[in-house]
């Protein structure tokens, strides 16, 4: 569904003053007006459930070997930040995937797990607050974005990344994940590392950059690693999409797929263009190319000046990250998700692929 932001972008395109070329030709660059980023979201209440707040459910934390460790309010286990989630419906070790619906069923009287109903007037994915209250002791500047933040990259809340959720750290800072039953017994554990932070694709507000690669056909999509971000493609060559259509392929991979699942999944996807007026008002001049140097922690500052406007959103009644493991196997193509005995930092089947199609008729 397109929102009003898309109409605003069209108006900007049609009314841009060609005289600006005498000031800076970058003002007229067509790439300023294409899709630039995506975000992942879920129900607003979910930012206080799932792996965001496992410590309130009377269980003992476990280390990665299944040994009892001291209970920790925010999952610092053996001195390491660890993502911990409880699977309320799991009774065995084979089907070890975390199932968000089990948390929803467990807290049915206090947890409204439905994502907010979409409207073309929305400027964010969830209209209600998505600020975590269980992590309030970490910082007075916890984000309220309407979607998953990327706290790993935000120096003001990076110490709380394992309870704010969203995206796993890069491989050089890989961390534990632990899956428990409601009684605290250990189901499975592994190591988390994600693509989005590994390749510096997501800013601190969880906007994942769309790849600058263009001209791909649908048949090319499964041949790339997505290390440059979601990909815009057309399918006129292989006749999969109508001629007037375009699409974005979004793939949460490796540890990112695991963390999104453990923190409650995905029921919103947002697509963004540049907010040119906001950037110009802030004195940010084009070109607006993505620069990794502008998207890393530098001292105590996050040097990222790109601003975005929501132009399209997709909302689902259910969780897009639902998955089911098939039991241990040496073939990674059969690995569903939180597989016992498997290192999620090297999930080689790439995670789910979401295809967002846009028909311009």
CB atoms within 10 A of CB 15: 7
Q: Do residues 37 and 231 lie in contact, with contact meaning Cβ atoms separated by under 8 Å?
A: no
pLDDT of residue 261: 87
The count of structural domains within the chain is: 1
Spans of the chain, pLDDT less than 50 = 58-72, 93-94, 237-238, 299-303, 328, 332-336, 340-349
Query: To 5 degrees, how large is the angle CA 163–CA 164–CA 170?
Result: 90
- DSSP 8-state class, residue 285: P
pTM of the model: 0.86
How is residue 290 written in tokens? 């993505």
pLDDT of residue 338: 57
- Quote the CA–CA distance of 48 and 103 in Å, as a whole number: 11
The whole domain housing 93 covers 4-359
Q: Do residues 51 and 262 lie in contact, with contact meaning Cβ atoms separated by under 8 Å?
A: yes
Q: How far apart are the first and last CA of the chain?
A: 14
- Quote the CA–CA distance of 315 and 126 in Å, as a whole number: 10
Omega before 287 within 30 of 0, i.e. cis: yes
CA distances to 94, 157, 174, 245, 314 from 358, rounded to whole Å, are 39, 36, 36, 6, 11
Which stretch of DSSP H or E encloses residue 250?
Answer: strand 245-250
- Quote the CA–CA distance of 1 and 12 in Å, as a whole number: 20
Query: To 5 degrees, how large is the angle CA 111–CA 117–CA 122?
Result: 120
pLDDT of residue 275: 92
pLDDT of residue 272: 96
């Amino acid at each position: 569904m397109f929102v009003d932001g898309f109409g605003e972008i069209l108006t900007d395109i049609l009314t841009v003053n060609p005289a600006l070329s005498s000031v800076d030709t970058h003002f007229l660059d067509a790439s300023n007006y294409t899709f630039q980023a995506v975000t992942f979201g879920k129900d607003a209440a979910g930012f206080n459930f799932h792996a965001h707040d496992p410590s309130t459910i009377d269980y003992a934390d476990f280390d990665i070997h299944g040994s009892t460790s001291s209970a920790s309010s925010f999952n610092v286990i053996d001195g390491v930040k660890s993502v911990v989630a409880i699977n309320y419906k799991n009774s065995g070790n084979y089907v070890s995937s975390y199932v968000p619906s089990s948390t929803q069923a467990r807290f049915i009287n206090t947890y409204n797990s439905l994502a907010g109903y979409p409207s073309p007037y929305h400027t964010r994915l969830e209209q209600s607050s998505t600020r975590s209250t269980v992590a309030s002791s970490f910082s007075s500047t916890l984000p309220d974005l309407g979607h998953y933040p990327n706290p790993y990259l935000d120096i003001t809340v990076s110490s709380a990344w394992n309870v704010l959720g969203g995206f796993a750290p890069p491989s050089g800072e890989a961390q534990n994940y632990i899956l428990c039953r409601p009684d605290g017994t250990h189901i499975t554990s592994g190591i988390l590392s994600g693509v989005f932070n590994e390749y510096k694709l997501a800013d601190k507000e969880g906007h994942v950059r769309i790849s600058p690669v263009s001209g791909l056909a649908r048949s090319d999509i499964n041949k790339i690693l997505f290390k440059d971000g979601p990909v815009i493609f057309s399918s006129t060559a292989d006749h999969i999409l109508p001629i007037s259509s375009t699409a974005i392929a979004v793939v949460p991979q490796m540890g990112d797929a695991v963390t999104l699942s453990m923190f409650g999944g995905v029921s919103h996807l947002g697509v963004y263009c540049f907010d040119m007026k906001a950037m110009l008002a802030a004195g940010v001049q084009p070109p607006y190319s993505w620069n990794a140097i502008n998207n890393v922690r530098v001292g105590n500052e996050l040097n990222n000046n790109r601003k975005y406007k929501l132009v399209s959103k997709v909302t689902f009644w259910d969780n897009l990250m639902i998955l089911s493991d098939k039991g241990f196997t040496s073939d990674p193509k059969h690995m569903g998700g939180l597989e016992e005995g498997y290192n999620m930092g090297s999930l080689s089947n790439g995670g789910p692929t979401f295809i967002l199609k846009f028909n311009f008729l």
